[in-house]
Amino acid sequence: MTQEQKERLRAIVEKGARRITADDRAFVRELANMYNVNIPNNRCRDCIVDAAFDLLRLDHEEDPGAEAEKNADRRYILRPGVDVYFGDVRVNAETMTDELAERIIARGFERNFFAKC
Protein backbone atom coordinates (compact mmCIF):
# COMPACT_ATOMS: atom_id res chain seq x y z
CA MET A 1 0.00 0.00 0.00
CA THR A 2 1.37 3.42 -0.89
CA GLN A 3 1.88 6.22 1.63
CA GLU A 4 -0.77 8.29 -0.14
CA GLN A 5 -3.32 5.47 0.23
CA LYS A 6 -2.47 5.08 3.93
CA GLU A 7 -2.90 8.81 4.53
CA ARG A 8 -6.25 8.82 2.76
CA LEU A 9 -7.41 5.81 4.80
CA ARG A 10 -6.34 7.58 8.02
CA ALA A 11 -8.30 10.65 6.97
CA ILE A 12 -11.39 8.52 6.26
CA VAL A 13 -11.16 6.82 9.65
CA GLU A 14 -10.65 10.19 11.35
CA LYS A 15 -13.65 11.74 9.59
CA GLY A 16 -15.95 9.00 10.75
CA ALA A 17 -19.02 7.54 9.13
CA ARG A 18 -21.07 10.72 9.15
CA ARG A 19 -18.68 12.69 6.99
CA ILE A 20 -17.30 10.26 4.40
CA THR A 21 -18.08 10.94 0.79
CA ALA A 22 -19.16 8.61 -1.99
CA ASP A 23 -15.64 8.90 -3.39
CA ASP A 24 -14.20 7.80 -0.02
CA ARG A 25 -16.54 4.80 0.05
CA ALA A 26 -15.51 3.79 -3.48
CA PHE A 27 -11.82 4.14 -2.56
CA VAL A 28 -12.21 1.88 0.50
CA ARG A 29 -14.24 -0.69 -1.46
CA GLU A 30 -11.55 -0.83 -4.16
CA LEU A 31 -8.74 -1.34 -1.64
CA ALA A 32 -10.81 -3.86 0.33
CA ASN A 33 -11.24 -5.93 -2.84
CA MET A 34 -7.53 -5.65 -3.60
CA TYR A 35 -6.46 -6.78 -0.09
CA ASN A 36 -9.33 -9.26 0.57
CA VAL A 37 -10.82 -7.27 3.45
CA ASN A 38 -14.46 -8.12 4.06
CA ILE A 39 -17.06 -5.35 4.16
CA PRO A 40 -20.19 -6.96 5.63
CA ASN A 41 -22.56 -4.34 4.20
CA ASN A 42 -21.37 -2.11 1.34
CA ARG A 43 -24.09 0.45 2.06
CA CYS A 44 -23.26 0.81 5.75
CA ARG A 45 -20.99 3.80 6.33
CA ASP A 46 -19.76 2.41 9.65
CA CYS A 47 -18.80 -0.83 7.86
CA ILE A 48 -16.82 1.19 5.31
CA VAL A 49 -14.96 3.08 8.05
CA ASP A 50 -14.26 -0.20 9.88
CA ALA A 51 -12.89 -1.66 6.64
CA ALA A 52 -10.61 1.37 6.25
CA PHE A 53 -9.34 0.77 9.77
CA ASP A 54 -8.82 -2.94 9.02
CA LEU A 55 -6.81 -2.00 5.93
CA LEU A 56 -4.58 0.26 8.02
CA ARG A 57 -4.14 -2.49 10.59
CA LEU A 58 -3.34 -5.01 7.84
CA ASP A 59 -0.63 -2.72 6.50
CA HIS A 60 0.79 -2.27 10.00
CA GLU A 61 0.98 -6.04 10.53
CA GLU A 62 2.92 -6.44 7.28
CA ASP A 63 5.57 -3.91 8.37
CA PRO A 64 6.06 -4.00 12.17
CA GLY A 65 9.30 -1.97 12.04
CA ALA A 66 7.43 0.98 10.59
CA GLU A 67 5.63 1.59 13.89
CA ALA A 68 8.89 2.08 15.80
CA GLU A 69 10.09 4.52 13.15
CA LYS A 70 6.79 6.37 13.20
CA ASN A 71 6.81 6.74 17.01
CA ALA A 72 10.44 7.86 17.30
CA ASP A 73 9.74 11.58 17.07
CA ARG A 74 6.14 11.72 18.30
CA ARG A 75 5.16 13.61 21.44
CA TYR A 76 1.93 11.66 22.02
CA ILE A 77 1.62 7.87 21.93
CA LEU A 78 -1.52 6.00 22.93
CA ARG A 79 -1.49 3.00 25.22
CA PRO A 80 -1.72 -0.33 23.36
CA GLY A 81 -5.26 -1.38 22.49
CA VAL A 82 -6.87 2.06 22.81
CA ASP A 83 -9.61 2.37 20.19
CA VAL A 84 -12.36 4.77 21.25
CA TYR A 85 -14.58 7.47 19.84
CA PHE A 86 -14.23 10.92 21.37
CA GLY A 87 -17.19 12.84 20.07
CA ASP A 88 -17.19 11.89 16.41
CA VAL A 89 -13.41 11.29 16.20
CA ARG A 90 -12.04 7.76 16.26
CA VAL A 91 -8.95 7.67 18.45
CA ASN A 92 -6.52 4.78 18.00
CA ALA A 93 -2.89 4.12 17.09
CA GLU A 94 -3.60 4.35 13.37
CA THR A 95 -5.32 7.75 13.50
CA MET A 96 -3.26 9.38 16.25
CA THR A 97 -1.08 12.32 15.35
CA ASP A 98 0.43 14.95 17.63
CA GLU A 99 -1.97 17.53 16.21
CA LEU A 100 -5.00 15.32 16.85
CA ALA A 101 -3.80 14.59 20.39
CA GLU A 102 -3.44 18.29 21.19
CA ARG A 103 -6.87 19.02 19.75
CA ILE A 104 -8.71 16.31 21.70
CA ILE A 105 -6.82 16.94 24.96
CA ALA A 106 -7.88 20.59 24.71
CA ARG A 107 -11.48 19.34 24.39
CA GLY A 108 -11.16 17.16 27.52
CA PHE A 109 -9.80 13.79 26.35
CA GLU A 110 -8.30 11.86 29.28
CA ARG A 111 -4.50 11.87 29.41
CA ASN A 112 -4.48 8.39 30.99
CA PHE A 113 -5.16 6.91 27.51
CA PHE A 114 -1.63 7.93 26.53
CA ALA A 115 1.56 5.99 27.20
CA LYS A 116 3.56 9.10 26.26
CA CYS A 117 2.12 12.56 26.68
The pLDDT tens digits of the residues spanning 14-28 come to: 887 788 888 999 999
pLDDT tens per residue across span 80-104: 888 888 888 888 888 888 888 899 9
DSSP 45-112: HHHHHHHHHHHHHHHHHH-HHHHHHHHTT-S-EEPTT-EEEETTEEEETTT--HHHHHHHHHTT--GG
80 vs 68: which has the higher pLDDT: 80
Residue 60 has a CB neighbour count (10 Å cut-off) of: 15
Residues pairing with 89 in the sheet: 86
